[in-house]
Amino acid sequence: MGRPLPLQPRNRAVVVGLQPVALIDHVAQVDWSLLQDIPGERGGSLRVTEEEVLTILEKVKEWAIRNHMGEVIKKLAGGSVANTIRGLSGGLKVPCSIVGARGDDNLGRMFQENLEKAGVDLSGLRVTSGSTGQCVCLVDEEGNRTMRPCLSDASHLRAEELTRDDFKGAKWLVLNGYGFYWPNLTEKAVELAKEEGARVALDLASFEVVRRSRTRLLKLLESGKIDLCFANEDEARELMKSEGLESPEECLEFLGNFVDTAVVMLGPKGCMARRGREVARVSAIPGIKAIDTTGAGDLFACGFLYGIINGLSLEACCRVGCCTGAGVVLGLGGEIDNSAWDWVYSQLQYQQLPVRDNLSKSSVLLRHESPQVEVQVL
């Protein structure tokens, strides 16, 4: 792997995202008949080779031809952190950058162009000789996804390549548990970000990550260097197994012992958040038909962080997160498209949440009503 090179001069970002591996998602909505031909169990994530990725994509194209459909595969920059950063930068106009590595191939250039279009600063994205990671995301008619990632030979960022300049001037560092797959990378990023005075937001990523990296995860939480932590219900249960606890409420209290703000995302049931003694529980926006749940947690985190950055109350942060999380499930992939952003902006306005002047003032509702979100403060 060649020496990393910066892409462009740095513009200081409010939020820096750490994504060790650039990733291109191949997203397609298919039916069960196709999924029966894909190796592995339906749902979840199973790592595959590049050859297997090409085979699956060919099966998708053949299925589309048999069913007299056009191009069904949507390609876009993927990865949890990239999804969050793209939403903050492109949709909510928060200056962001991403730190990581991409290959010097067509997929790497596609990753770069997609994030550049959203206004993300890529001066921290290294370009190395090698391939860019990719993931096939097959979505069924109910919005459930089956993922087949290929990362084994992908270009990736190493801990020793990080510098303080990657985080200089940032107010927040956003990272997730997938960084634990590389030795000392997450810990080094947190250390450098803290030296620059940034706060740190950690998403637990998946229950598999929690299971595999629980010792490192708990050590990092116990260090007191994580300011904000996101977990979904599955991750929360996995984290609490050895504690003999299972409920989201118990996990929220547990995480609150180590971080300033803890959030447990409950999918269609909304979310719970804790900051000190304050606890808020917010219902999800009703009446939403999910086309694809890819990126729902990532875009929830995007909205919640927007609220934190702008000094909103805990309840309001949750409500913004529910709006952005709902916005992404209206289409395929972990990106909110322009029409769905109009819907998100209209929701923020309807709920009388602060909307910055540089955000859209459109009131397009995408055939969805604007319901009142139920809020319970415990």
Label each residue of 11-56 as H, E or C. Answer: CCCCEEEEECCCEEEEEEECCHHHHCCCCCCCCEECCCCHHHHHHH
Is 176 contained in some domain? no
pLDDT at 358: 53
* Lowest mean per-residue pLDDT among 7-21, 155-169, 232-246: 7-21
Structure confidence by residue, pLDDT tens digits, 314-343: 999 999 999 999 999 999 999 999 999 999
Domain count, the chain: 2
Query: Is the model more confident about 287 or about 17?
Result: 17
CA angle 238, 217, 267 (to 5 degrees): 45
* Domain hosting residue 275, numbered range: 266-378
Structure confidence by residue, pLDDT tens digits, 266-278: 999 999 999 999 9
| Tokens of residue 190, six digits | 């947190």
% the chain with pLDDT above 70: 90
pLDDT of 79 > 80? The answer is: yes
**Where is the domain boundary, 90, 123, 157?**
157
> For residues 377 and 367, what is the distance between their CA atoms, to the nearest angstrom?
30
Structure confidence by residue, pLDDT tens digits, 191-209: 999 999 999 999 998 888 8
> Are 280 and 146 in the same domain?
no
pLDDT of 82 > 50? The answer is: yes
Is 324 contained in some domain? yes
Is 323 contained in some domain? yes
pLDDT of 289 > 80? The answer is: yes
Is 353 contained in some domain? yes
> Are 137 and 271 in the same domain?
no
Give CA 6 to chain center in angstroms: 24
Mean pLDDT of the region 176-191: 95
Read off the CATH number of the domain in which 2 is found. 3.40.1190.20
pLDDT at 226: 98
pTM value is 0.90
